[in-house]
Amino acid sequence: MVDQCALGWILASVLGASALYLLFGKKNCGVSNERRRESLKNIATTNGECKSSNSDGDIIIVGAGVAGSALAYTLAKDGRQVHVIERDLSEPDRIVGELLQPGGYLKLTELGLEDCVDDIDAQRVYGYALFKDGKDTRLSYPLEKFHSDVSGRSFHNGRFIQRMREKAASLPNVRLEQGTVTSLLEENGTIKGVQYKNKSGQEMTAYAPLTIVCDGCFSNLRRSLCNPKVDVPSCFVGLILENCDLPYANHGHVILADPSPILFYPISSTEIRCLVDVPGQKVPSISNGEMANYLKNVVAPQIPPQLYNSFIAAIDKGNIRTMPNRSMPADPYPTPGALLMGDAFNMRHPLTGGGMTVALSDIVVLRDLLKPLRDLNDAPTLCKYLEAFYTLRKPVASTINTLAGALYKVFCASPDQARKEMRQACFDYLSLGGIFSNGPVSLLSGLNPRPLSLVLHFFAVAIYGVGRLLIPFPSPKRVWIGARLISGASAIIFPIIKAEGVRQMFFPKTVAAYYRAPPVVRER
């Protein structure tokens, strides 16, 4: 097995390098004036007669979810006057955003927000357990080199967000307001602020040199600031199992089921979240009982026996939730006076739980870029400077994004024999332990987000699958399946990489924005 995998590493290097060469091309990171005018044509102008709020803030943040709240606290801590406008300040109730990877926890600590996982009954997570056809393997996070407090955390999403909001609002230079932003205010191609309705329904305007849009996956402002190519490959069906134990305590559980994965992880000391992935954009109806029948007859027989009774009880209890799974590559229009962050800007399949890690990493990048700037009022110069953000974020974000998309496709069942072999090879490769599990888990956890390492491991899995087919006695049929396995693996990962941007992902130092220095402020 080890010899096959060593061969896989060598061949993967050649395949990866060749494919990157073929994919490498110049990506147009800018946007024409005509295209920008088209994207901004529906934005409100500043000539409307609305009551104006104070306009002496430095930054407006639209949305106070994980990204918006963390960003508000981070920028305010650096001395900025921050105005946060959130549609609903009551505690959110969502079935995703409940698992923070260790890499995300490190970023949370770097931002000074690590206490936001305290006092919410958050559970430590030390790795994953993978189940397939009655077999299982445990994959631990490689945490040996880190402080004992570093691990994953799982929790109720709403509790975590409320703690983040409280932390941000505790700073005197943060104004947290409930209101619905209806449009961005534009003047001569520059965003000057926002128009919104406050809690009482009154039309308001707010102005600031920089507006950061963090209004989540349902963003109604993103079309003005990026080219949204939203894909919905599947939906999650969410249940909560009560008072039962997972086969592996303090681990996420992934069942490679048919037709697609099933997830289990703790969200409190007495509750386990179950997410059943249903491919496509339509799910069985909850109201007429189709969903309950689907879960009992199709899903339940595939879950670990230890969870079966609690799973059935959760279905009978009836609190079944659904959520579309969205993915969207980052494709921004550099717009003076505005910036996109969080799920409004970039999404990936939530299978790997990497969304909050990407958002927190992005905030660290943006904080470091803005820290040396005293004046944000030169919007065109600031916009040019902040193009570095889109490049500097890429290695981390694109690694997590690509892994999420690729793993989801590999983990889904398929009637195609080559895809079946790839799925089995992935399970067996990870079961080898050592570098074969530590490498991929380091990528998934955000502890070692290196794009090249991702490509090498992905093709090492593919070559390992080919080795299983050809050794000890290759046959023409097996050779053909092996060739299709390699071809299929390429067809999975390379379109995702191309959408992320080959140059920015693998060669960020060749992008001019990577070296962009802070603008020099001339004394008046």
Average pLDDT along the chain, 524 residues, taken 10 residues at a time: 40 41 39 43 41 66 98 97 97 95 98 97 98 96 94 98 98 97 95 96 96 94 93 97 95 98 98 97 95 97 96 96 95 94 96 96 97 93 94 94 96 96 97 95 94 95 95 91 96 93 88 79 50
- Each domain of the chain, given as residue ranges in start order, spans 57-119+154-227+327-376, 230-325, 400-507
d(CA 279, CA 408): 10
Going by their DSSP bridges, the two strands 252-255 and 127-132 should be labelled as parallel
How distant is the alpha carbon of residue 226 from its chain centre?
Answer: 17
Say what the pLDDT of residue 56 is: 56
Q: CB within 8 A of 122, min separation 6: which ones?
A: 153, 154, 155, 160
Q: Whose CA is closest to 286, among 326, 324, 315? A: 315
- Give me the CATH topology for the region 57-119+154-227+327-376: FAD/NAD(P)-binding domain (3.50.50)
Residues in a beta bridge with 86: 178
Say what the pLDDT of residue 27 is: 39
Give the C-alpha distances (Å, rounded to integers) separating 74 from 86, 112, 209, 520.
17, 8, 17, 23
pTM of the model: 0.88
Say what the pLDDT of residue 521 is: 56
Say what the pLDDT of residue 19 is: 43
Say what the pLDDT of residue 55 is: 52
Say what the pLDDT of residue 522 is: 53
Tokens encoding 445: 């956890």
Measured in degrees and rounded to the nearest 5, phi and psi for residue 146 equal -110, 165
Residue reference for tokens 């001569």:
188
d(CA 350, CA 101): 12
d(CA 67, CA 341): 7
Residues in a beta bridge with 322: 237
DSSP alpha helix (H) spans, 78-156: 102-110
Return the CATH class of domain 230-325: alpha beta
Q: Whose CA is closest to 237, among 286, 272, 307, 288? A: 286
d(CA 393, CA 416): 36
d(CA 343, CA 109): 21
N residues, the chain:
524
